[in-house]
Structures are given as C-alpha cells and as structure tokens.
Structure 1
Amino acid sequence: MANFASTGDMAEKTITFTEIGEGLYAFTAQGDPNTGIIVGDEAVMVIDAQATPVMAEKVIERVRSVTDKPVRYVVLSHYHAVRVLGASAYGADEIIASDATRSLIVERGKEDWDSELGRFPRLFQAAESVPGLTWPSMTFEGRMTVWLGKRRVELIHMGRGHTAGDTVAWVPDSRVMFSGDLVEYHSACYCGDAHFSDWPQTLDRIASFAPRALVPGRGDALDTPEMVADGIALTRDFLTTLYGSVSESAARGLSLKEAYDRSREAMDPRFGDFAIYEHCQPFNVARAYDEACGLDHPRIWTAERDREMWAALQG
C-alpha cells in the first residue's frame, strides 16, 4: 500500500519570496502551503499563517527583509490546520476570518488539527510550539474593508468552494488577489471539505475581478494576467474532471472504491504529476461521492476516519 497521505514526503522544500506588486509578496515552497504578505504604509497584513509558530518564523524572517512595519493583521483564508496554527507567532492585533470559517473551527477545528498532523508531519515542524486552536478575533459575513494606512484591502467571502468559508484578499491599487486554496497552480486541489457544485461559480467571481496577479494556495505566484487565467482554468479543469467522473459513478450505483478507480483513469494522465496529487485523491473522491449522493455538508475527517478510508481505497 502507498505511504499514508504525505507521511513519506519528508524532503525539505526550497522557499521563494517573490514581489508581485508594490509591497505585495508571495511566500511559496514547491507546492507547500503559500503565505501572502501585504505591506501598507502603516502596517503589514499576512494571509495564511503556516502550520506552526516555528514554520511561521520562516515567513517573518522574509517579511523583516523587506519592512520593519508591524504585522497588525493575520487573515485566515479558511480553517485548515496547515494554514492557521502558526498564527500566534506574528503577534498580530487582529486575526480575521469569515463567519463561516469561525463556525467550522467550532465544529471541527480540533479534529482537523489531529487529522492534518497525521497526514503531513513535515508541515508541522515543532508541532509542540502550537499553543492551541487559532481563534479569529474579528469575523465578517460577506465583505470587509481593512485600511493599512492609505492602502485598502478588501476581504471577500466569495462563496463556497474549497471549504464553506473561503476568503480572498483583494488589493485594488495593484489589482492583486490572494485566493487561498480556491485556486491552485500545478498542485492538486484538496477537496475533502469541498462544495463541488459551488466551486466553479466561485472561480467565476474571482475571474470577474480580472486580477493582474494572483497568489494561489499552493504553487508559484501567478504574476501576469495570462498566468492568472491559466491557474483558474487548471483549477476548474481539475474540479470538473474529478466531480464529473465521481458523480457519474455514483449515479450508476458504483461503490466508492469503484468510483475511486474510475476517477484515477480520468485524472492520472492529466494531473498525476501535480503536487500532493496522490495525497489528495482518496480524500477528494470520498467527498465527491458524498456530495453526488446528496450530502451537502462535508463529513468531519478524523485521524481514524482518514486511515480507514485510505486503507479502503489505496489498499
């Protein structure tokens, strides 16, 4: 049986820190979770915090190489542990998330932490440095404006997709967007908590802003309008191919294992070389199958459920 999830992925990744607009940076590492940085004239905003305070220090080190302004805001694009548990390291005044994201932390934050730690140990360097769940100090329903001095940042809950609570950050003065995991670039979409029927429309809303550059959840920063369009199209293609295959299997009354095997035939030739593809596919198919069978609210992943599902599909 293949190594469970990403437990076999222990190789250190090369970090890049790219300026994609004036005072706008992407912290990326070969398919690991990205962090975005927005430097205003008075303060800094960080989008997605990394998985532990020790991992977050690598981001802080890069931020300090370009500015000494205080990090006042940490924005959580969604609730997943690899994105949020490092937040305490920044010493921010406010931690901001959508109302829906806070509700998901209440409902499943602890289970998700245990699950993700088991799936991807390399991303949780010094896991003991995590002080506990990350709780937003400020939430919003649809849209919120934050002023970093004269610089305006729009935080927008675009609709359901990767999770029910996904938030993007839009910087109008530079036409740059930080999408969280709603957009990926040459990386598999993780869809274990997804809403497949909504996600393509959410991508349409992102595209309607016509971003000049975009920082995806994983993969290289997209620093031209052409690359942005390519990233959105690749993400859409991944989702529609996956859900199309699995929903067809479910409609035919095939088992989850049969749906998984058929999805691999449809997906492997096109997406098999994407980062974390092997890790994601069993979780993705399990959620797609549930949604195709009428389960709107994703089931909670626990460390135990993870292992049972993996054995059933990858065994």
Structure 2
Amino acid sequence: MRTKLAWFLVLSLACVTTPAQTATVAPGTAAPVSGPLPRDGYFQQIHRVADGVWLIAQPQPFHIQPIGNVVVIEQRDGLVLIDAGGSPGAGRRIVELVRGVSDKPVKAVAITHWHGDHVLGLPAIVERWPKADVITTTTTAGHLTGRSMKAYPKGAPDSTAQAAFDERLDGADAFLRDTLAKPDLARAEREGFEASQRLFRQYREDTRGLYLVAPTRMFDTALRLDDPQRPVELWHPGRANTDGDLVAWLPAQRAMATGDLLVAPVPFGFNAYPRDWADSLRALQAKRPTLWLPGHGAAMHDDAYVQRVIALVEQTRAAVAPLAKERLTLEQVRAKIDLSDARVRFVGDDPWLSRWFDRYWTQPFVDAAYREANGQPIEQGEG
C-alpha cells in the first residue's frame, strides 16, 4: 500500500540503504520508545490567519511522515475546509480543532490533490458532518477512485488492507532502529531519527481504520463557493505537484491556499511536472496574494518563498536538460547534478534537513526533469 509513507520514507530509504544495511529486526517488534514529545511538533495546532480564516498545521513543519495542512474558512452558512489531514487519528483531532473555533457545520471539504497525507483524515470529518460535500478536480477524483489509491479500502475499513499497511510500517520501524544503531550520525540527524521513531509509533495508532471517502462534487477548471464576506474560488491552475492540483483563492482576504505547490521548509518533488509547476506558481502569483497558506509549513505574508521555489524548479530543469540531450542515463545524470547551493538556500547547514532536501527534492525532481527532457510521461504512482 503506497501512501506518502511509501514515497517519502520507503523510496527515500531505498536511496540510502544497501543490501548490507537492510533491516534485521523482526517485523512487528515494538520499538522501545515513548509517544511524541511536545518539541516533536507532531500534533497539529490551529491559528487564526485572517478574519474568519484559520490554518491547522504541525508546529514543527518537517517530518519524515508529514500531515498536510488544513485551511478553515467561515462562511455565512457553514465552514469550508481545504484538505482533511493525513490519517483517521489526525482527522479526529482536526474535528476538535474546528469545533473549537466555530459552532457552524462543515459544509464542504476541498481536497487539493490525491496524496494520502491530505485526504486520509476525511472519514472522521464526514462522520461528524455527513452532509459535507467532498470536492476535488475531476482528475484527482480519478486518482482517488482508481489505480493510484487502489490499495485503500473504499467507504469502510478493511482488515486485509490494514494488515498490508501495518506491514509497511514494520519496515519503517526496522529502518529507523537500524539507522540509529550507526555510530556516525550527526547529533541533529540522531535527534531527528529518534523523533521519527516516536512519531511513527503515533502514526501507527492514527492510521487504524484507514479508508477512503469518495468525492461528491468534481470540477475541471474552476468552482466558486460564494459568500458575502469570504467567497472561495477553487481553481485548477495547471499541472504541478500532481496533474490535478486544486488551489483555493480567497479574493476578499487575498489569501491563496496552495496545497503542495508550496511546501516548506523542503519542497516535495515526487512525480512532478517540472515545466508546468513553475508556470502554475506564476499563475498564482498573478493574483497578487498577500497571504500564502502552503500544503505544509507556516503561513507566508509575501511571495519570497514562492520565488525561491520557482527558481529551484528552473535551476533543476536547466541542469538536467543538457545532460539528457547528451543521451546520458538517469544514473549518470544523477551523479553529475549538484544542487548543493540550492540546498543551502533552503535549509542552511542543518544536516538533518540537508539529508531530506536531497531525498525529497533533488533525487525525485531530477528524475522528473529527466523524463520531461526525454519526452517521457510523468507517471502518477500510488499515493
């Protein structure tokens, strides 16, 4: 079962392990670690970012296994949520956070894209507000109901699917224990992997009872949820992080909820559309937002980070394209690409974040840029 766990952990681990480093701990063995500590910043918190608008986000913005941000928008007859969190447990906590700021019902949940860390909290939300519409682009609806999410049960939990998911978590636990047994980790890396052990233990509990909720309303290009004070314009600006990305524009507040077109502090480059991504971000900039609400990370009050991501996309494409034209293999291109200057711009000299900048951006985005340069299709995997 491939969730962002698979993309962000299993694929990342494949890049850093060798046959001699594979897990040796028996699957299912309990890790001798406590649950998340306050400094781990795992549990999402809610913050008012504009009048009648709140952002639900993890206070520590980077985790190996992330939970997507949720935007809450109060309209006259109910609330609109942008995204739904990354697990049933996260969904239950999101329900309580939402109820803490408004007694209005959730009338709609707009899902920015099909990746599990933005959609798997839906069951708890629609259980609490069963009349809520679940809105996606038509393309994203196809992923949620089709091959991309085929391993997930639809409409109700399934014990076989749950067992397969738990087995994948066993492998993640084993990798983390093996990694922490290495003596040469930098202090920041050791602390990061120790926190990841605690977080995966909580994530295991949070993902009990996984299943997908099907969209109830789809659109191709744009859909307006009107309101006298806080209208929401749902919009597909073009391909970027996925082929069906949805963003939410609040014209009265000049706020843009971007989904994973923007992720901080480390962009996610898996299975992306390199040329289109830069164009889509520029389309968002053309609205001149004064408040950016990313798919992960804190609210932003200017477009400096947006500019940095556009520059990173273009730098990576420019580095890959001439090498691809020389008919080098992907492995040869990977060996020649050096994005160390970009890595410093995003994460400084932090060894923990540097590791994951390379795993979550450099490696997957170079792959996507190589496919683009060679005219190969970008495959949307299982999420």
Query: Which TM-score band applies after superposition, normalised by the shorter structure?
Result: 0.7 to 0.9
What's 1:312 paired with?
A: none
Compute the displacement of 1:60 (Å). Answer: 2.0
On the 8 A contact 1:175/1:213 being kept in 2, the answer is yes
Q: 1:233 to 1:18 in 2, by over 3 A?
A: same
State the match for 1:205 in structure 2: 283
- The letter of the residue matching 1:286 is D
Q: CA deviation at 1:149?
A: 7.0
Runs (5+) with no aligned partner, structure 2: 1-8, 17-34, 154-163, 173-195
1:277 corresponds to: 357
Secondary structure at the counterpart of residue 62 of structure 1:
helix
Q: TM-score under structure 2 normalisation?
A: 0.68
Contact 2:266 2:360 in 1 (8 A): no
- Between structure 1 and structure 2, the one with the greater Rg is 2
2:259 corresponds to which of 164, 167, 180:
180
State the 1:241 CA deviation.
1.9
Counterpart of 1:48 in structure 2 is 83
Deviation at 1:249, TM superposition (A): 2.3
Alpha carbons of structure 1 residues 142 and 181: separation in structure 2 relative to 1, 3 Å: same
Q: Which residue of 2 aligns with 1:243?
A: 317
Residue aligning to 2:115: 80
- Which residue is 1:13 aligned to? 41
Give the Cα–Cα distance (whole angstroms) in 2 for the partners of residues 18 and 34 of structure 1.
11
d(CA) in 1 for partners of 2:226 and 2:359? 38
In structure 1, give the amino acid aligned to 2:290. Answer: R
1:108 equivalent among 127, 143, 148: 148
Contact 1:27 1:36 (8 Å CA) reproduced: yes
Aligned-pair CA distance for 1:265: 4.2
Q: Which has the higher strand share?
A: 1
Contact 2:112 2:247 in 1 (8 A): yes
Deviations 1:62-115 (A, max 9, x none): 212211111111111011111111111112421000111112332412369989
Q: Quick one: structure 1 residues 17 and 6, their matched pair in 2 at CA, closer, same or farther if it must change by over 3 Å?
A: farther
Q: What residue identity is the alignment partner of 1:260?
A: R
Query: Is residue 294 of structure 1 aligned with residue 375 of structure 2?
Result: yes
Match of 2:294 among 200, 216, 238: 216
Contact 1:45–1:71 (CA under 8 A) maintained in structure 2? yes
Q: Cα distance, 1:238 vs. partner?
A: 2.0
Shift of 1:138: 0.3
Does the 8 Å contact 2:45/2:97 carry over to 1?
no
In the alignment, structure 1 segments of 5+ residues that lack a partner are 304-315
State the AA in 2 paired with 1:251: K
For 2:138, the aligned partner's letter is: D
TM-score (norm 1): 0.82
For 1:95 and 1:302, the matched residues in 2 are separated by 21
Distance change (3 Å), C-alpha of 1:206 and 1:265:
closer
2:224 to 142, 145, 151: 145
The corresponding residue for 1:307 is none
2:113–2:244 Cα contact (<8 Å) kept: yes
For the aligned residue pairs, the C-alpha RMSD in angstroms reads 2.9
Matched to 2:312, the amino acid is F
- Counterpart Cα distance in 1 of 2:309 and 2:152: 23
Relative distance call for 1:6 and 1:16 in structure 2 (3 A) is: farther
